[in-house]
Structure 1
Amino acid sequence: MYKRIIVPIEIGGLDRGEKALRKASTLLEKGGEIILLNVVEDVPTYVAIDLPPELRQNAIDDAEQKLGMLIRTSGIPAMIEIGHGRPAHSILAAAEAHDADLIIVASHIPDFSNYFIGATADRVVRHAKCSVLVDRQR
């Protein structure tokens, strides 16, 4: 059983996120904590110039709202955290900041460019200082 579990969730893949959240709840020890993490990727400056300034804040607000809804509909208590930057780096930073003992990362069925697991999952597995469960989802 685990005390603190990080569950990174892509807003575009809430169904996979819900499965990972449910799996986390079965692995959590009594009194433990689940942290749902969404990462808002930084937009390169040369692209950001042409985008509305509120775009980043809208992405953060949307993530908080959708993760909150996921928590309410699943009935599984969890904290919400919004990171920014490169996904793998943000996941690893959150795991270290929260002293997590498990990261559950959903991974799609890979293609030849990332044959074994997805690119973000691969980076997390390689560099995490805690256990990582790769939840293969179709």
Structure 2
Amino acid sequence: MFQRIMVPVDLAHEKRLEKSLGLAADLARQYGATVIYVAISAATPGSVAHTPGEFADKLSRFATDQGKAHNIATESHAVTSHDPSIDLDPALLKAVNEIKADLVVMASHVPNITDYLWPSNGGTVASHAPVSVMVVR
């Protein structure tokens, strides 16, 4: 049913992703799918990496580690943005097409008052993606 599962990840907050990572791995095993971990970073030095190349390498190692831990096929797709906080939703939607994903599994956050003013990333991706999206809380 699914062949390419996209999982957006924030390498600065890996611990918060356990449920979505586990669900994506379970689905990948069930359907023999590949999980593609997508992450977005600025071109400037940040808390995760100093350069886009270093960021891509860390994401690639993350994908390899996830593949070994869950016995699944994995890939990584790093995106460089001038302002990841502004570009996150459009970059994720673009990545769906670039990697030819047929499912997105992404972590959510606990809703709060700001969600009434600004939509969540999961909600935006789910509303606009051309494929099914599972938002995991």
Partners of 2:12 and 2:66 in 1: CA distance:
13
1:11 maps to 11
Shift of 1:60: 3.1
Paired residues of 1:41 and 1:87 also in contact (CA < 8 A): no
1:110 maps to 111
Partners of 1:75 and 1:34 in 2: CA distance:
11
- Report the AA paired with residue 7 of structure 1: V
The change in CA–CA distance for 1:118 and 1:110 in structure 2 (over 3 A counts) is: farther
Larger Rg: 1
The count of corresponding residues between Structure 1 and Structure 2 is 127
Shift of 1:128: 0.5
TM-score relative to the length of structure 1: 0.74
Q: Deviations over 1:42-65 (max 9, x none)?
A: 55xxxx8xxxxx544333333333
Q: Deviations over 1:102-131 (max 9, x none)?
A: 111101102211159962212211211111
TM-score relative to the length of structure 2: 0.74
The change in CA–CA distance for 1:31 and 1:63 in structure 2 (over 3 A counts) is: closer
Structure 2: segments with no counterpart, 5+ residues:
82-86
1:69 maps to 65
The change in CA–CA distance for 1:23 and 1:117 in structure 2 (over 3 A counts) is: farther
Partners of 2:35 and 2:61 in 1: CA distance:
17
Give % identity: 25
1:51 maps to none
Shift of 1:23: 0.7
Moved over 4 A (4+): 115-118
Structure 1: segments with no counterpart, 5+ residues:
49-53
2:84 maps to none
1:89 maps to 90
The change in CA–CA distance for 1:79 and 1:60 in structure 2 (over 3 A counts) is: closer
Paired residues of 1:84 and 1:90 also in contact (CA < 8 A): no
The change in CA–CA distance for 1:116 and 1:125 in structure 2 (over 3 A counts) is: farther
